[in-house]
Structure 1
């Protein structure tokens, strides 16, 4: 895994007196350089190590969406919440449906995070045995991409907008995801769900930054997301034709989100543009940093904070995804 954009962490926003909750670009620039080096290292190792399949995943991604949704999908499959490795008793029965090795404070070197108490280092998190049968019968859920726009392309961190027009950038992203899915396939993965991106042009952060009138969305941003989803949907169709025994499904999160926004009364949402937790115009200028900032009834809001929907919205999206309501024909 690459590193997350810690330049957006509340600690640094405070230390560097961030204006309007803007990320600390210098720190994120370091993280991006680390990620580029990690990607290059991954490519070199795959060329040198015979029969190795090393996958690099860029953590400038929509981590919050994964956090808010992955357990809900586990429940739909009849599985309990995925237990933490340190919290389970060690029986096969407890571990067979999944184990979460994520460990707060752990880093690449063994001593990273040691001052925070017990943790699982990178070396301890990596296992030796491959369970091909279990992998091939599991469903892999991929929800990734929003932060590539939010924290990278739209901020023009590395001047990418002068190198890639939106369409070219989306094609680059789709091809990158395509290669990662092929890597999963080579690792015996056969069932994959790929989520498209939601209409972040409606996000409170952008409504405030671009001084939206009456909560109208940023069409230019939403158009980029639509192009990305189109490219990924087409890519999924291609993979289903060439990867034998693979079942790759594309779910249109844009369509699902727009259905909720446009029919908010039917779904029980009274506030469509203002975040439940935040400060500033549309409560999207300053991120949610404490529970005291939150509204009294989050379930009446579509947006929880600057960019993330509320649990009520995620619950509806999860139900709709499970029922294939927003799964285009030809991608399932």
Structure 2
């Protein structure tokens, strides 16, 4: 219960802010029209893949083995925010950084929290998946208090809800089990993936029941190639590293999670005929970059741009002054996170299918955003 006390106090301020707006005030709740978009807002849930620490309480004090600066800049360099810019949305505020005004809520919110996991309950330092879902639900209820029921319903249905979880669960699993029996670890890994995927599926159902009709689920990046994972697991059996220096058994297990999530999303799309749920496979997207870095303008696929020790993986980015001179030539920014240059390529691919095709399916993010309500289409073949 203690983890929810902070949330409740924020919501109290949030509620007062919304109710203080005069009912006669004109508020634009229409969907954006930039790039043919029919998206009213973007609501982001997730872990460090969507939050640089700005939305994680006390993060500078509790970053532990992570980086004090996990992003080169701000949240604007991360995938959901780059996609928001393409959609025409420019004011997605961190949940804990908004002032409770209706305008900020209507512009979209980032509920994501660095170190957030699917399995753990969360704490004062970060919000779990379930806590973020609660924040979303209460935010949607507050919209209904301020707007008419019909207006709020149409606004929610025409908004995109972005989910990106699982990365931190696997980081904890791999690092805590690095010295355990590989055979036992691998036998249990599929069960672990199934449990995580079932929770993300439940989250998608929860959002659907809250009237969300446009949902994006992000897969997990190739953790076996991250500088910290390679350094931590340097005692794995000979031959477990591939030609690019990635830990293959780690990538295999992450790949299994992504495969199961992709399959489950396909089933949800069949079940929810009036919704479109898009799976974005950043794993395969990043592996294409890692396997052919020069094709995409990169030179270094092993070293963190900002970090100390072997491959910049021993100590995270505790100061931006530690960063390399040319971050755009690196695949990895710090221990576990890609550089903005990688995120930009992934955002382009998710949006249009170029320069890397089929990252997002069954449709691209552009197609998801341009589909008006009532016209969310399903391809004949998934």
Structure 2 counterpart of 1:141: 162
| Map of 2:269 onto structure 1 | 240
| TM-fit CA distance, 1:84 | 6.2
C-alpha contact 1:65 1:143 (8 A) present in aligned 2: no
1:71 to 77, 81, 97: 81
2:331 to 285, 291, 302: 302
Structure holding more strand per residue: 2
The residue number in structure 2 matching 1:98 is 108
Task: Flag the 1:225–1:65 CA change in 2: closer, same or farther, 3 A.
Answer: farther
1:268-307: CA deviation from partner (whole Å, max 9, x where unpaired):
1111100001111111111111112111111110000010
Per the TM alignment, residue 11 of structure 1 is displaced from its structure 2 partner at its CA by: 3.9
Residues 1:193 and 1:101: Cα distance change in structure 2 (over 3 Å)? closer
- Match of 2:225? 202
Residues 191 and 254 (structure 1), Cα distance of their counterparts in 2 relative to 1, 3 Å cut: same
- Report the alpha carbon displacement of residue 98 of structure 1 after superposing the two structures with TM: 2.2
Establish whether residue 132 from structure 1 lines up as the match of residue 153 from structure 2: yes
Gaps of 5+ in 2: 7-46, 49-55, 68-73, 114-123, 126-133, 145-151, 235-240, 363-378
Residue 322 of structure 1 and its aligned partner are, at CA, apart by: 0.7
Q: Is the 8 A contact 2:91 2:107 kept in 1?
A: no
- The Cα shift of 1:210 comes to 2.7
Find the residue that maps to 1:320 and give its secondary structure. helix
CA distance in 1, matches of 2:329, 2:109: 34
CA distance in 1, matches of 2:94, 2:197: 32
- Residues 278 and 286, structure 1, Cα contact 8 Å, conserved in 2: yes
Aligned equivalent of 1:108: none
Unaligned runs of 5+ in 1: 15-20, 24-63, 104-111, 114-121
Contact 1:66 1:143 in 2 (8 A): no
Q: Is the 8 A contact 1:274 1:283 kept in 2?
A: yes
Instruction: Determine if the alignment matches structure 1 residue 277 to structure 2 residue 306.
Output: yes
- 2:360 — aligned with what? 327
* Distance in 2 separating the partners of 1:84 and 1:179: 24
Corresponding pairs, count: 267
